[in-house]
Amino acid sequence: MGIPGLLPQLKTIQKQVTLKKYMHQTLAIDGYGWLHRASCACAFELVMDKPTNKYLQFFIRRLQLLKRMNIKPYIVFDGGSLFVKSQTETRRKKKRLENKIIAKKLWLAGDRYNAMEYFQKSVDVTPEMAKCIIDYCKTHSILYIVAPFEADPQMVYLEKMGLIQGIISEDSDLLVFGCKTLITKLNDQGEALEISKDDFSALPKNFPLGELTEQQFRNLVCLAGCDYTSGIWKVGVITAMKIVKQYSEMDDILTQIKQTEKFRLSKTFRKEVEFANYAFQYQRVFCPVANRITTLNNIPGPLINSHAEKIKIMGCIGSVVEKGSGIRKGVIDTKNIDHKVHEMIAKGELNPMDMTSILLNREKKIRTRNLYKLDLPVGEFDSLNNKAKQLPVDAHHIMFKRDGSFGNKSASSFFLNSSTTVTDVVPYIV
């Protein structure tokens, strides 16, 4: 993740801090980062589809830590995936599946200890887990938002808008997106390292990041390798810095590299760089003030004059739901975007992956399914209450399906008026 080898080069400007420094401030939190760390503790349960509250407990502990310091958290979750990263994601998914098979094999063979290692490698952090945290945030008045796509640009946008004063994350990509105050390596004692963009000018001569323009910085990470480019073989951040200082334009860099026999360029590299520049600068974010979808930075007018260019950009910054048709595509004109749908995604009501289905809390979903499996009598199921309603509604309502059709009576009347048991219906918590 992020830029390999970038953080070590910033060692000299990393400030050892405690959370006390941010007292009375609002800090953005990379929700996925915390979810991922927390999921190690309950990898078995997550992979085997068993209920667990351990990852929520991890959040609760950390949120209490912030509360003691009088810090207001603003949790930011990742949303949908970008088309440009689809190949990386299918590769990871395949790897997770392989690890899952190994984990189950080891577990069945009785090698519990080694099985855990592979269970942890096969955990899949899902939006449903995020929803579990979101439900906690709602009942405890904690700020949160689900980004339309990646959390990184969303957090930087909140910083630009002055809604937060710093970002808690382990991802060095944030600096490329333009983050001003990055807080990394936060531990349970409230100690962390702070990296400020303002301190770039104080970096040593061999890595003068302060002398680079934002565009040169983006070129640097593209050469060294980032989330959107595979980089160039034998080029790390130091070599990339030398190259960028010598030729500031990417076109010059590429023609120069092609002439030398020193480095080998992949066929797709030029395209990767182009895509990366779009993703870093113009990715879709949600503005919680205006309640509308926007972009991290404004897309320059001349860039989107041609239709072909338009299509290309949309794959990099994320496609949105069109107003009226409800179809997901690369809408340019903000007037034609269904902002209401995207507001529901931002609030965690709709699944950010498909942008249509209701986002369910993982633990509630599993509890309900377990009720179904347990073959409980009607009376006990009734205690969960409730009236079934048309989509979308808030949590705690139940929809149920029988003979392939949705019922819309109250659950109690449905069960009391028939001899149905829970095994006959498929309950959904909506």
Partner DNA sequence: TTTTAGTGATACAT
Partner DNA sequence: TCTCGTCACTAAAA
- Kindly list the residues in this chain that would bind DNA in the complex (CB under 7 A): 1-2, 4-5, 30, 32-33, 36-38, 40-42, 54, 57-58, 61, 77-81, 89, 92-93, 96, 116-117, 120-121, 124-128, 130, 151, 170-171, 185, 206, 224, 233-240, 351-353
**Shortest separation between residue 427's beta carbon and DNA, angstroms:** 14
**Of residues 232 and 293, the one with the C-beta less far from DNA:** 232
Q: What backbone torsions phi and psi does residue 316 show, to the nearest 5 degrees?
A: -95, -30
In terms of Cβ atoms closer than 10 Å to its own Cβ (0-12, 13-18, 19+), residue 223 is buried
**Shortest separation between residue 404's beta carbon and DNA, angstroms:** 16
* DSSP reduced 3-state for 79: coil
Residue pair 77/32 in contact (Cβ under 8 Å)? The answer is yes
**Of residues 73 and 79, the one with the C-beta less far from DNA:** 79
**Shortest separation between residue 352's beta carbon and DNA, angstroms:** 7
**Shortest separation between residue 92's beta carbon and DNA, angstroms:** 3
Strand partners, 374: none
Dihedral sign, Cα of residue 372, residue 374, residue 378, residue 382: negative
Give the residue carrying structure tokens 């009734």: 382
**Closest Cα partner for 174 from 165, 183, 186, 164?**
183
* DSSP reduced 3-state for 37: helix
**Shortest separation between residue 93's beta carbon and DNA, angstroms:** 6
**Shortest separation between residue 303's beta carbon and DNA, angstroms:** 27
Q: Which amino acid is at 325?
A: S
Q: Measure the CA–CA gap between 184 and 99, rounded to whole angstroms.
A: 29
**Closest Cα partner for 153 from 63, 220, 79?**
79
**Of residues 16 and 419, the one with the C-beta less far from DNA:** 16
Q: H-helix or E-strand containing 276?
A: helix 269-282
Residue pair 39/123 in contact (Cβ under 8 Å)? The answer is yes
CA separation, residue 220 to residues 115, 199, 244, 380, 421 (Å)? 40, 18, 6, 62, 63
**Shortest separation between residue 25's beta carbon and DNA, angstroms:** 22
**Of residues 124 and 249, the one with the C-beta less far from DNA:** 124
**Of residues 2 and 330, the one with the C-beta less far from DNA:** 2
Q: What backbone torsions phi and psi does residue 167 show, to the nearest 5 degrees?
A: -125, 125
CA separation, residue 179 to residues 29, 159, 185 (Å)? 13, 7, 16
**Of residues 260 and 417, the one with the C-beta less far from DNA:** 260
**Of residues 126 and 421, the one with the C-beta less far from DNA:** 126
Chain center to CA of 363: 20
**Shortest separation between residue 290's beta carbon and DNA, angstroms:** 23
In terms of Cβ atoms closer than 10 Å to its own Cβ (0-12, 13-18, 19+), residue 362 is buried
**Of residues 299 and 366, the one with the C-beta less far from DNA:** 366
E strands, 204-325, where? 284-287, 292-295, 320-321
**Of residues 233 and 406, the one with the C-beta less far from DNA:** 233
**Shortest separation between residue 378's beta carbon and DNA, angstroms:** 25
**Shortest separation between residue 417's beta carbon and DNA, angstroms:** 29
**Of residues 68 and 185, the one with the C-beta less far from DNA:** 185
